[in-house]
Structure 1
Amino acid sequence: MPTLALTNFNIVVGLLGGWISLFGLVSYLLKESLYLSEALISLLAGLVFSPHATNFIRPLDYAGSEENLDAITLYFTRLVLGVQLVLAGVQLPSRYLRKEWKPLALLLGPVMTMMWLVTSLLVWGLVPKLPFLHALAIAACVTPTDPVLSNVIVKGRFADHNIPKDLQKIIIAESGANDGLGYPFLFFALYLIKYIGDGGVSESGGAGLAIGLWFGETWGYVVILSVVYGAVTGWIAKELLHFCEERKFVDRESFLVFALSLALFIVGTCGMIGSDDILACFIAGNVFTWDDWFRLETLDDSLQPTIDMLLNVVMFMWYGAVCPWHSFVANSVIPIYRLIALGILILLLRRLPIILAFRKVIPQIDGLQRAIFTGFFGPIGCSAIFYLYVTLEFITTLNPNHGDTPRPDVANLKEAVSVLVWFMVICSVVVHGLSIPLGKFGIYLPRTISRSLSSPGDAISSQLRGRVIPRTNSGGDTVANTPNESRSTSARPVFRIGGSVIPRHAATRSPTFRLSISSEVGDPRGNRELSPRPSEPDTKPFTNVNPSSYPGRTIRFPDEQPDSEASHQPEREVLSPSFE
C-alpha cells in the first residue's frame, strides 16, 4: 500500500533540486540584469527552509549533536574552499605569482596585518569585558577576503564592463592566497590564549613556548609545508596530464574534471597530515596551469563554472539553515545595538582606509576610484566560517583534565566567536550582495525621474545633443556644415553598424556591394566580409575605417545634403549591400 515517506533525505533532496531548478530559470535575470549574487539568494532560501522558519531543513536532526553539526559544517566548508581555490589558481595567467609577487607581498603582508589589527581594536572596543587576546582570535577569522564572494565582482557582465582585467586578477590572487595565510594570525592568538590566557596556571611554558610553537608548527609545518606540497602536487599533476593527453589516454570529460579531482585529492591528503589544505589548493591550482596550457584548453568550458555554482548554492543554503540567527539578539556577550555598530564599522574600516593608504604602491589599484572599489569589496564568507570552526575545535582542547567544564578565561570565548563571526558573515553577504544593484539603482533613478519630468522634445534633444555627422568633400577632407545642416544633424543619433560609420564619400562611390569570402578579416559567424564590387572602375580603397568593422556599410538619412560628387544619388536613398 503506497504511503507518504516524509523522510529527511526525501525532503532535503526535493527542496534542493527544486530550489536549484527555480533559481536556474531566472538566474540570468538575477545575476546579469539585477546583479544579485547567488550567495545572498541562497542564504535567504536557507533561512526560509530552516528551523527558524518553515522547518523543512533540520540540520541538527541530520547530525545528531552540536559537535557533529560543527564537524559537518567545517568539512563541507573545506570542500567548497578547496575546489574554489584550485579554480582560482587555474584562472590566473601563466606564472602570475612570480610576475606579481611585489603587489601580492604588500597585500598579504602589511595590508593583511593592518586589517587584522584594526578589526581586533574594533572588536575589543565594542564588545564589553572581552580580553584583547580573544579579540585578536576573533579578528583573525574575518581578516581574509573570501574567494567565493569575490567571484561576484570578478565574474559576469558587471565585471566585464566595469573592472579592469589587471584588477580582477589581483583580487583573485589575493583572495586565494590570504585564505590560507589566515592560520598564522589565528594561531598567534590561540597559542597565547592557551599558555598565558589564564596567567599560566593551566599550561606551563608561557609566551616563549607559545611563540616557539607558532613559528615551528604554524609557519613551518602548516604554511610552508602546504606551499611545498601544493606546488609539488600541482606540477606532478600537470606533467601527468600532459603525458596522457599527448598520447590520447584521457577523454575530454576526464580532462575537464581533472582540476576538480585534484582539489579533492589535496583537501583529503592535507587533512590527513594536518597541514593547510586551503593554501595548498591555491598553490597547486596556480602551478598546475603554470604554462597556461590547461587554462587555455578549458577557457570555453562550462563544466568548472557549473560545479562552482552548484557548490556555492548548496553551501550558502546550508549556512542559512545552520546560522544561529537567534543568538544575534539573545546572547550574553554583546547587545544587538553594539553588534550592529560593530558590523558597520568593520565593513567600513577593516580594509578601505588601508587600501587607500597603499594605493600608490600597488600598480593594479593605482587611482582613487580603483582603491575605493577594492577597499570596499573585501567580502567575509566561507573562509571566516572555516576559521570559526577551527577556533571552536581548538577551544575544546582548553578544558582542564579533558573535562566538560572549560577554563574560566575561555568560558565565554566560544559564544563570542560564534556570534561575532556569523554576524559579520551575514553582514558581508547582504551588504556586498546588494551594493552593486543599489548602486545601479541610485545612478539610474535620478536620470529616469529627470527625463519623466521633462518634455518629450527636451528629453530627445538632450540625449542627441552634440552628435553631428561630419561631411567630406571629394578629396576625403572634412568640411564644415552649414547652419541649417548643423541644426538638422545635431539632433540625429549616429547609428553604427559593424562598429563604425563608413565615410559618405567612400560609400557613395560604390553603391552596390557583393558578398565575398575573406581569409583575413570577416564575420566571426561565417568568415565573410563585404567588399566593393570589382567591376566598378571608380572604386578606391576605403580610408579612415576601423579595421575591426565591416567596410561598405552606411546609412543615409533623409535630411542629409548630398555631396557634389554624389549629387546624382537620390536624396532619400538608403544604401544596403546586395547579395549575389
Structure 2
Amino acid sequence: MNLVLALFAGAIVVLSVFSTLFQRISLPGPLLALAFGVLIGPYAVDLIRIDDFGVPSGTLLEQAARATLAVGLTGVALRLPHGYWRRNIRWIAVIIGLGMIAMLAVATGILSVGLGTPFLMALLIAAIITPTDPVVTTPVVTGSMAEEKIPERVRYNLSAESGINDGLGYLFVMLPVLLMTSPSTAWQELLTKVLLWEILGAAAFGAVIGYLLGKLFVLAKDKNLMEESSYLGFVVPFGLFVLGAGKLLGTDAVLAVFIAAAVFGQVIPQRDESQEDKVDDAVNRFFLLPVFMLVGIALPISEWGQLGWAAPAVIIAAVLGRRLITVWALRPLFRNIHDRPETFFLSWFAPVGVSALFYATLAERHTGNPDIFAYATLAITASVLIHGLSSAPLSAWLKHRQPAQEQGSS
C-alpha cells in the first residue's frame, strides 16, 4: 500500500506541477498517466501488478471507473451555463438522437468486416466505444488555453454531448449483452427493465434529486450556512451520492449523475467558469489520473498479440471513423451552429476512455468473455495516444482559422 501511495501520489504531484508545460507540448495527463502505469507495470519494471491490489481486476477497474465518471460528469454538467439546454436543443437532438445510432452503426460495420468477429461481438465493442468520453474530454475544453483557442460554443457543445451520451451508452451496451446471455427474452428485458426503469427511471430520479439538492444549496448559501470554500466539498460527494443512490434503486446510475448535476447547475446561481475549471482540475488530478495508471498496469498486452496483426488498425479505424463519418453526414442539420473548422474539430475529437473502461468491465462481467477487455483497452490506448497527441495542435489550428473566417465575413 505504501508503494502504491508513493508511486501514484508522486506521479500526480509531478503531473500537476508541470501541467501547463505538458499541455502546451500536447502531452495531456491521461496519456502520461497511462504511460506511467505501463512503466511500473508487469511489462516494464514490474513494480506493481493489478493482482497486488487484493481485489479482482475487473471489479477494481469497474468500480474505479464508476467513481471517476460520477465526479467527472458532475464537473462537466456544472460547466454549462444557465439556459444552455434550452438554447441548444437542436444540437443535442441531432448529435444524441441521430448521432449515437449512426456512430454505433458505423463502428459495428468497421469492426464486423475488419475483425471478422461474430456480429454481436462487433456490436458490443462498437457500443462500448460509441460514447464520447466526458472525463478525458475535460482537459481539452477547460482551462485558460482552451478558453483562448477553442470557441465557447464548441467547448460547451462537446461537454454536453459527452456527458449525456455517456449515460445513454448503457442502453446500447446492454442490447448485445442481453442478446448474448438471454436471447429469448433480450428484447423484452431491454424495453421493460433497461429502457423503462434503468434509463427513464435514472432520468427521473436524477432530475428530482438534482432539483432538491439545488434548492438545498441555494437555501444554505442564502442563510450563510455554507462557506464558499465548501463548494468543492459539496460537488465531489454530490456525484458519489447520486451514483450510489441511483445504483441502489436499480437505475443507470451514471446517467442519473449527469441529469442530477445538469438540473442542479441550472438551479443554483450562475458561477464563474474559472471556478468550474478549478473543480475540473482537481477532479482530473485526483480521480482521472489514477484510473489511467491502473489501466496502464492492467493492459493485456500479451492478449493483444493474440487478436491478430490487423486488430490495431481496425480498432483505430472504428474509433476515428465512427465520429468522422457521422458528424459530417449530419452536418446539414447543424451547419448554422458550427462552421467547417469547428465541425472538423468536433468530428475528430471524440476520445474513448473511462466510460469505455466502465462498459467493457461491465460487459465482461455479464458475458465472461475476456476478449471484450482486450479490444476495449486497445481502443482506449489508441484513442489516448491519437487524441492526446493531436489535441494541442488541433486546438491551435482551430484558433488560427476562427479569426480568418471572422475577418472574411466582415
TM-score normalised per structure 1: 0.65
Of residues 69-78 and 363-372 in structure 1, the stretch that sits farther from structure 2 once superposed is 363-372
**Deviation at residue 308 of structure 1 after TM alignment:** 3.1
- Is the 1:45–1:320 contact (alpha carbons within 8 Å) kept by the matching residues of 2? yes
Correspondence for 2:370: 415
Correspondence for 2:245: 269
Correspondence for 2:77: 89
- Is the 1:166–1:364 contact (alpha carbons within 8 Å) kept by the matching residues of 2? no
Deviations 1:273-318 (A, max 9, x none): 2211111111111111114515349837735532332212111111
Q: Which runs of 5+ in 1 are unaligned?
A: 1-8, 197-205, 397-413, 444-580
Cα 1:364/1:167, change in 2 over 3 Å: farther
Cα 1:224/1:173, change in 2 over 3 Å: same
Distance in 2 (CA, whole Å) between partners of 1:424 and 1:318 is 16
Distance in 2 (CA, whole Å) between partners of 1:357 and 1:297 is 32
Distance in 1 (CA, whole Å) between partners of 2:320 and 2:277 is 37
- Is the 2:110–2:318 contact (alpha carbons within 8 Å) kept by the matching residues of 1? yes
1:374 equivalent to 2:329? Answer no
**Deviation at residue 262 of structure 1 after TM alignment:** 0.8
Indicate the SS of the match to 1:359: helix
Q: CA RMSD in A?
A: 2.2
From 37, 42, 46, the counterpart of 2:37 = 46
Cα 1:302/1:347, change in 2 over 3 Å: closer
Of residues 180-189 and 221-230 in structure 1, the stretch that sits farther from structure 2 once superposed is 180-189
Correspondence for 2:209: 233
From 298, 316, 324, the counterpart of 1:352 = 324
Distance in 1 (CA, whole Å) between partners of 2:171 and 2:267 is 31
The higher radius of gyration belongs to 1
Correspondence for 1:173: 160
Indicate the SS of the match to 1:251: coil
Correspondence for 1:574: none
Q: How does 1:1-400 map to 2 (within 5 A)?
A: 9-31=1-23, 33-63=24-54, 68-128=56-116, 130-196=117-183, 206=184, 209-291=185-267, 293=269, 295-296=271-272, 299=275, 302-329=278-305, 331=306, 334-336=307-309, 338-362=310-334, 366-396=338-368
Correspondence for 1:498: none
**Deviation at residue 160 of structure 1 after TM alignment:** 2.1
Q: How does 1:545-564 map to 2 (within 5 A)?
A: none
Indicate the SS of the match to 2:48: coil
Q: Which has the higher contact order (CA 8 A, sep 6+)?
A: 2
From 433, 436, 440, the counterpart of 2:388 = 433
Of residues 145-154 and 425-434 in structure 1, the stretch that sits farther from structure 2 once superposed is 145-154
- Is the 1:12–1:56 contact (alpha carbons within 8 Å) kept by the matching residues of 2? no
Cα 1:291/1:441, change in 2 over 3 Å: closer
Q: How does 1:481-496 map to 2 (within 5 A)?
A: none
- Is the 1:47–1:321 contact (alpha carbons within 8 Å) kept by the matching residues of 2? yes
Distance in 2 (CA, whole Å) between partners of 1:40 and 1:213 is 38
Distance in 2 (CA, whole Å) between partners of 1:248 and 1:72 is 40
**Deviation at residue 161 of structure 1 after TM alignment:** 2.8
Whichever residue aligns with residue 63 of structure 1, its letter is G
Deviations 1:60-107 (A, max 9, x none): 02225xxx2211110110000000111111110113223322210111
TM-score normalised per structure 2: 0.91
Distance in 2 (CA, whole Å) between partners of 1:437 and 1:106 is 27
Deviations 1:194-228 (A, max 9, x none): 334xxxxxxxxx3xx32111111111111101111
Distance in 1 (CA, whole Å) between partners of 2:224 and 2:395 is 49
**Deviation at residue 152 of structure 1 after TM alignment:** 3.1
Distance in 1 (CA, whole Å) between partners of 2:159 and 2:215 is 25
**Deviation at residue 59 of structure 1 after TM alignment:** 1.9
Cα 1:233/1:364, change in 2 over 3 Å: farther
Cα 1:347/1:168, change in 2 over 3 Å: same
Indicate the SS of the match to 2:136: helix
Deviations 1:135-171 (A, max 9, x none): 1111111100001121233123442233211111110
Cα 1:442/1:101, change in 2 over 3 Å: closer
Distance in 1 (CA, whole Å) between partners of 2:339 and 2:389 is 24
Distance in 2 (CA, whole Å) between partners of 1:71 and 1:424 is 20
Cα 1:217/1:341, change in 2 over 3 Å: same
Distance in 2 (CA, whole Å) between partners of 1:165 and 1:424 is 29
Distance in 1 (CA, whole Å) between partners of 2:339 and 2:397 is 23
- Is the 2:69–2:354 contact (alpha carbons within 8 Å) kept by the matching residues of 1? yes
Higher helix share: 2
- Is the 1:93–1:292 contact (alpha carbons within 8 Å) kept by the matching residues of 2? no
Indicate the SS of the match to 1:350: helix
Correspondence for 1:493: none
Distance in 1 (CA, whole Å) between partners of 2:29 and 2:274 is 23
- Is the 1:51–1:58 contact (alpha carbons within 8 Å) kept by the matching residues of 2? yes
Indicate the SS of the match to 2:230: helix
Whichever residue aligns with residue 361 of structure 1, its letter is L
Indicate the SS of the match to 1:257: helix
- Is the 2:246–2:252 contact (alpha carbons within 8 Å) kept by the matching residues of 1? yes
**Deviation at residue 439 of structure 1 after TM alignment:** 5.7
Whichever residue aligns with residue 342 of structure 1, its letter is V
